[in-house]
Structure 1
Amino acid sequence: MNRGLRMPLAMLAAPLAFFVAFFLAPLAVVILASLSDTANAWTLEQYVRVLADRYHWEVILVTFRIACLTTLVSLLLGYPLAWYLTRMVRWRAWRRVCVILLVVPMFTSNIVRSFGWMVLLGRKGLLNQTLLDGGLIDRPLRLLGTETGILIGMVYVLLPFMVLAIGNALSRLDASHELASADLGAPPRATFFHVILPLTLPGVISGCIMVFTLAVSAYVTPALLSGGRISVLSMLIFQQYSSVFDFHYGGALSVVLLIFTLVMVGFAGRIGRTRGDA
């Protein structure tokens, strides 16, 4: 072997071994379990059980609807916030404080944050009490156990990922492009939609992919904020593995979730490449 290749291969050995042991091997176990039954015979029965049942399609629809809405709301809130941090905050120390405030909640467990939202969104929680005291509503809103409540919690948990991804793209944007657009007589709105947004699209796409993949596979936040009234695929998978101990059925649900997620991510990546080529 070429001596020049030994060092790079030696450096890659440990990461590759870790990747195989803790990612590929468990994934292979899940896939093999989904393709067999209790008698260890090869079968597609588990996939037929998942895809032929209307209930599972309803759960899939709810799962991806919540994930898509979480991604959309995070984008609508994250882009202005990233713009504020990178363009409007001139004092570097204050910018660091804002970034720290944005990131600090991520150091807290999702369980703790979800319990906090259960207190805030309850019928006698802070949000309902504030709206009632302000005369904006006549009776408490039902937020817990609804998709709206789950969406609020998911956006709160995942918004920092979107802000950091878009903020990184905005910070790398060359100001000369905006100056050239202004010199050519383009108004600020046209500059944003025809210059800034296309150039920051890679950051937008990466932020959307991160938020979507985390949202579609989230368990803690939907489980706590749904109160058992709404089911998503991650909750069904957890139930099969932890309570029913049906690893074959749970494996099929896991693979179906993985395939649908990969299709959505691939579609988003294709849109990003098409926009970039244009």
Structure 2
Amino acid sequence: MRIKNLWAALLIATPLTFMAIFFLVPFLVTLIVSFQTAEGAWSLVNYYRIVADSYYPLVLFNTLKLSLIATIASFLIGYPIAYYIVNVVKKRLTRRMLYILVIMPLFTSNIVRSFGWLILLGRQGLVNTALVNTGLIDRPIPILFTDLSVVIGLTYILVPFMVLTIASVLQTIDKSLTEASLDLGCSRMATFFRITLPLSLPGVIAGSLIVFTLSVSAYVVPAIMGGGKVVVMAMPIFDQYGALFDYNFGAALAVGLLTVTLLLITLYLIFIERRPGGRQVGQP
């Protein structure tokens, strides 16, 4: 019995040690540095600079806005894909191939995929050319280097996370529940909204949290597809560290972004917990 407890302790200690070394310690260092000046004195001046300058709150708001839109878009695209793979496709081999197609873009660098979208969304790109040829527009419209292009890039890159998370929950739903609903006279649409969707909410919640947090911290996609015209919080943080070498202010920006993100996630989870039937959402 003691040997089993020892092995259990070692299994738990290994990931905890890894998290402490590579996450907790760097975060504590960043937190401490954010409360110091360049001379090493303790001060709140870095956080005061964030609040006093209207530029950074606006950038933070734009970051959260784009992340929220990308999360919603990922859900609207990812849920039908996950539902189709789990509930429509019957052959196991076909289902596995579809999963491979979903995760295949993850094998390519975000930089390469972002440059691919530059070609597609350019004024002479495939999208504008198709819209002009079909008569929907008279001249090419500016899509690149806008909020829309950043949302498109983030959604394309993060949809696989939403699909896989939702699909993992859809697979656990007892098919007899939907069959009973149909047998009792409910339409397929009513069955979906009354049974399938509520039971799959844990996957939707987990997927939305993953997509939102990855969107908030994204740098490559906004930097490339925003063209410098769309600024998110990751950019000034990188500039403070990589260009201006103001590590104290950069740390304050990073801690501020993390704090606001955690606060929003906490409020989101509280809202889900307190909504009618919310306690049943997270239960298997």
TM-score scaled by structure 1?
0.95
Q: Does structure 2 retain, via aligned residues, the 8 Å contact 1:205–1:268?
A: no
Q: Distance in 2 between the 1:75 and 1:204 partners?
A: 7
1:89 pairs with 2:117: no
Aligned to 1:209: 209
Cα pair 1:218 1:234 within 8 Å, conserved: yes
- Partners of 2:90 and 2:5 lie apart in 1 by 47
Aligned-residue offset at 1:3: 5.2
Tell me, in whole angstroms, the C-alpha distance in 1 between the residues paired with 2:88 and 2:5: 48
Return the offset for 1:16: 2.3
Deviations 1:17-63 (A, max 9, x none): 22111101110111011111011111111111112221111101110
SS of 1:244's partner is coil
Relative distance call for 1:229 and 1:14 in structure 2 (3 A) is same
- Structure 2, unpaired ranges of 5+: none
Tell me what 1:79 maps to. Answer: 79
Tell me by how many angstroms 1:4 deviates: 4.8
Distance in 2, matches of 1:3 and 1:158, equals 43
CA distance in 2, matches of 1:3, 1:169: 35
Identity of counterpart residues, as a percentage?
Answer: 44
Shift of 1:179: 2.4
Q: CA RMSD in A?
A: 1.5
Distance in 1 (CA, whole Å) between partners of 2:7 and 2:62 is 49
Query: Secondary structure of the residue that 1:161 maps to in structure 2?
Result: helix
Distance in 2 of aligned mates of 1:6 and 1:172: 33
Give CA deviations for 1:75-98 in whole Å, capped at 9, x if unaligned.
Answer: 111111111111111122222111
Q: Equivalent residue for 1:155?
A: 155
Instruction: Report SS of the residue matched to 1:144.
Output: coil
1:33 alignment partner in structure 2:
33
Distance (whole Å) between structure 1 residues aligned to residue 4 and residue 170 of structure 2: 39
* Contact 1:209–1:268 under 8 Å retained in 2: no
Distance in structure 2 (CA, Å) of the matches to 1:46 and 1:23: 22
1:128 maps to a residue whose letter is N
Query: 1:172, 1:162 → 2: CA distance?
Result: 16
248-257 or 265-274, which moves further after superposition?
Answer: 265-274
How many Å separate the matches in 2 of 1:182 and 1:268?
A: 33
Is the partner of 1:42 in helix, strand or coil?
Answer: coil
Which 10-residue stretch deviates more, 184-193 or 253-262? 184-193
Question: Residue 137 of structure 2: SS of its match in structure 1?
Answer: coil
Secondary structure in structure 2 of the residue aligned to 1:232: coil
Matched, 1:48 2:40: no
Matched with 1:277 is 279
Q: Which structure 2 residues correspond to residues 161-240 of structure 1 after superposition, within 5 A?
A: 161-240=161-240
How far residue 186 of structure 1 moved from its aligned partner, in angstroms, is 2.6
Cα distance per residue 1:191-248 (max 9 Å; x no partner): 2112111111000000100100001110000000010011100111111110011111
* Amino acid in structure 1 at the alignment position of 2:112: V
Q: Is the 8 A contact 1:161 1:207 kept in 2?
A: yes
* Structure 1 segments unaligned to the other structure (5+ residues): none
* Alignment partners' CA distance in 1, 2:171 and 2:52: 48
Q: For the residues of structure 1 that align with 2:5 and 2:170, how far apart are their CA atoms?
A: 38
Q: What is the one-letter code of the residue matched to 2:232?
A: V
Whole-angstrom distance in 2 between the partners of 1:105 and 1:131: 26
Distance 1:43 1:273 in 2: 38
Aligned residues: 277
Per-residue CA deviations over 1:107-149 (Å, capped at 9, x if unaligned) read 1110110111111111111111222222221111111110000
Per the alignment, in what secondary structure is the counterpart of residue 135 of structure 2?
coil
Q: Distance in 2 between matches of 1:92 and 1:267?
A: 39
TM-score by length of 2: 0.93
